[in-house]
Chain A
Amino acid sequence: MKVTIVDYNSGNISSVINSFEEVAKNKVNIEVTSDLGKIKSSDKLVLPGQGSFKSCVDALNKIDGLTEALNEFAINNKKLLLGICVGLQMFADVGYEETETKGLGWISGKVSKIDNQNGKFKLPHIGWNQINIVKDSKLFRDIENNSHMYFVHSYEFVPNDKNVISATTDYSSNIVCSVEKENIFGTQFHPEKSDKIGLKIIDNFINL
């Protein structure tokens, strides 16, 4: 099996690479590339993302044919894909960070700024928060409800269809922190930085 981490200059992906390599050891081949052919021939894709929604979408668009390749992989061929942080946010139709920017449109909804209740809550939402698992997801196999995950974000994904939500977290409001729609998975938190429990989620994705 080949798992590919999409390298599209979306910021720092070293930790994502390190964590997948740690989990995969030598059983699974982890590739890090922006090569369209390699992406298409992968069994699973990981779409990381750091920085702003706009900067990530711009970075995707800078690589000729990448968005089409991702569409073919996830939508036409229904192969397994995991989006992390802004990687998840880009599933949306639209994001409002910096300026209104069109997303991949895979899961209908928008990405907007977390309501910090007039400064009562600090932003970014940084640190360890518990997840409320609301859907029986294979991604959470052997993960206890209320487990702590590491977050760092100021924007949240608000999907139109609440059935795609697999976990939420409580901050200034109830924030969607994991989604699942058929073959498409996403986490707002960083499993690659969430210690052993985060590595277990990565292991679950590799074993899906």
Chain B
Amino acid sequence: MLKNRIIPCLDVKNGRVVKGINFVELKDAGDPVEQAKIYSDGGADEICFLDITASNENRDTIYDVVERTSKNCFVPLTVGGGVRSIDDINKLLNCGADKVSINTAAVENPKVVLDSSKKFGSQCIVVAIDAKKNGDKWEIFTHGGRNNSGLDALEYAKKMEDSGAGELLVTSMDRDGTQIGYDVDLMNKIASKVNIPLIASGGVGNLDHLVDGIKLGNASAVLAASIFHYGKHSVREAKEYLDSKGIPVRV
């Protein structure tokens, strides 16, 4: 039986982890490689890096991070943030990323998704959708949630599937950072609309939220950042909890 995945996400800026696990035994708390290794040793099903480097001159720092991580972690590695072109995707894959997530570029130019999935295969193309509720529908936001594209999230999700996306990483902008739980209504509506797997993101504050993302949101995988940081919960605890709730996980 296919297992639901738990994916810890690390925000990386200028090659350093911004938030992160704050364990005493860490030699260097800001080193993404060391943190990723802790997660993969702890049973993470995949690792996700979100590059939030703002300045262009430091953008290359992520390549070094990805290269070192892929030599140390042997679970799938997804990298997103600032991915604009086929060339960016190619570079990340060559450094050892297994999947690349595309956000703003996919909204502005859906052809990037079409072309990259043709060139590299759908298996490595994740489209990241940032959605915010407006009345009875959800709209797509870009540029880290700053710009409203006005696009309907459900229609956009379907379009991305048709363009060759292998997975959708759906983040609720209303919930992101709130720790009050995923927008399971949004997740469930998109998951029912498409035939590709959905990764739920945004709003996790406790382990029950992960359960809800899968049971109510119909997500194939759940992504979380802050609950795994600062040692609040380990990935292993999360898996044991999901297992106790009857959710199939790799333990």
Q: Which residues of chain A have a CB within 8 Å of any CB of chain B?
A: 11-12, 14-15, 18-19, 21-22, 50-52, 55, 116, 119, 122-130, 148, 150-154, 170-171, 192-196, 198-199
Contact = CB atoms under 8 A, between A and B. Distances in A.
B74 interface: yes
Interface stretch (B26-34, B106-114, B121-129, B174-182): B121-129
Nearest to B120: A11
Nearest to A12: B93
Nearest to A194: B74
29 contacts: A11-B124, A12-B97, A15-B96, A19-B74, A22-B71, A50-B120, A51-B119, A122-B195, A122-B220, A123-B196, A124-B196, A125-B2, A126-B123, A126-B166, A126-B167, A126-B220, A127-B3, A127-B4, A128-B250, A129-B3, A130-B1, A148-B3, A150-B76, A151-B2, A153-B123, A192-B74, A193-B98, A195-B40, A199-B74
Contacts of A194: 74-75
B221 interface: yes
A192 B77 CA distance: 12
A61 B197 CA distance: 33
Given A15-B70, A148-B250, A199-B74, 11 more contacts: A12-B120, A14-B94, A50-B120, A122-B197, A124-B196, A128-B3, A150-B75, A151-B2, A170-B1, A194-B74, A196-B74
Contact of B195 (A51, A123, A152, A199): A123
B45 interface: yes
Nearest to A198: B74
Contacts of B1: 129-130, 170
Interface secondary structure of B, over-half rule: loop
Nearest to A196: B74
Interface of B: 1-5, 40, 45, 70-71, 74-76, 93-98, 119-124, 166-167, 195-197, 220-221, 250
Contacts of B196: 122-124
A36 B195 CA distance: 41
Interface secondary structure of A, over-half rule: mixed
Given A12-B120, A15-B98, A127 B2 contact: yes
A198 B71 CA distance: 14
B159 to A, nearest CB: 17
Contacts of B3: 127-129, 148
A18 B70 contact: yes
Contact of A51 (B2, B120, B197, B220): B120
Contacts of A124: 122-123, 166-167, 196-197
A1 B233 CA distance: 45
Contacts of A18: 70-71, 74, 96
Nearest to B77: A15
A202 B121 CA distance: 24
Nearest to A125: B2
A55 B113 CA distance: 17
Nearest to A199: B74
Best-surrounded residue of B1, B71, B123 (most CB of chain A within 10 A): B123
Contacts of B4: 127
A122 B2 CA distance: 11
